[in-house]
Each structure stands twice: as structure tokens, then as C-alpha cells.
Amino acid sequence: MLPKIFPFQKKKEKDILSDLIFLAEVFDGYTTGRNTNPNRVKGVLEREEALLRQKIDKLEQKRIIDDTDFIINLPKKEGRITFYVNLFLMIKLLIRLFGVLFVFLMAFIITSRDFDETTVLILGWGFVAIIFLRWLSLTKILEFYDTEMKSQQGKLRHLKDGAQKIIYLISEYKDKKKSSSKKKRLHLYNNDYQNIKVIRSPGILRDYYLIEVI
């Protein structure tokens, strides 16, 4: 009979899986200009060093970090793109706030017979404006990175290779722990990796593929 797994062991397994998913998403995101704080990435790499060593050695990790530093600093070459990057980050926050406001508004409408139609109209147009600005800022960012990274294919290859190796680790970890694939879903911007299945494609409010590791 196998020994029971203590709660802290379950939590550790969950933390490892979360770290691997985070790294796969981050490495993939960098290839399209969806940047994450490199210090946070370094922290996760250090925390999971023993596990990552199976697929990504220290030299390769350092090369990936150097590539991410280069990509993050690219917008500094052009002030206009820095504006769109900041705008996109602000819009992401506004969308979250709007979602909360929408829930409260719907609850108010359902529980009250009297409601201000003007408020509903303003929120509706505000939502349209947010969606438009999100599309505009994201389009500008992607166009910029697409142009700039055409001459940096080596860096893109390093990052995608890193993401692929992390996906392999997730798949192996899943098989080892005999856990459900539904718990291994990733948000990726590229869908040409191995050991994955696309669950959902990008939509109006979702600019990523929902991926299941197999």
C-alpha cells in the first residue's frame, strides 16, 4: 500500500506544476512581445533548478534570460511603442475593473425595478472604447515586435525551444503523477509545439490559444 501524501507534499506538487506552466507561458509570450518581469522569471528558474536541469542547463537558462532582457528593452528604441505598451497594460486593468462593475450592475438591475438607462449606455460605450483601445495598442505592439524580431531569429528559437522543453517536462510530470490533463492548460500565443492540443483559439477578448498538455 502506498503511503499517503501529506498536505504539504500536495502543495509542493501543485507549486511545481504552477512554476512549469508559468515558465512555458512566459517563454512563449516573449516571442510575441508579451513581456513579464525578468526578476520574477529568474526567481522561478532558481526555485525549480533541480527539475529544470533535466532539460535546460544553466548555460541555456542564462542565454534565455539574456534574450528576454533584449526583448524587454526593445520598446525603448521607439518612444511611441512605449506609449502603446503602457496603454495596453492599463487597458488590461480596466477590463478587469469593468468585469467587476458589470457584475454589480447586473445584480442591481435584477434586484431593482428602477435603474438609470444612461448609466447602462455609458458603460456600454465605455466597454466598446476599451475593446477598441485594446485592439489598437496590441496591434501596434505586435507589429513592432514582428518587424524588430525578424532579424533576431536566434533569440526566438532559444525561447521557443525553452518553452517546448518546459512543455515536455509538464507532460512527463503529468504522467508521473497520473494527474488530469485539464489541470495542465496553458495560455500560449504559438500553437506549433509538440505534446499539446488546442482547446480554444484566440477570440475578441482572448488573444491566446488555450492549450492542453498531452
Q: What per-residue confidence (pLDDT) applies to 130?
A: 84
Inter-residue contact 63 to 158 (CB < 8 Å): yes
Asked which of 57-66, 101-110, 129-138, 171-180 is least confident by mean pLDDT, the reply is: 101-110
Question: What are the φ/ψ torsions at residue 57 (nearest 5 degrees)?
Answer: -80, 175
Q: Return the minimum-mean-pLDDT range out of 187-191, 202-206, 210-214.
A: 202-206
Mean local confidence (pLDDT), 125-129: 82
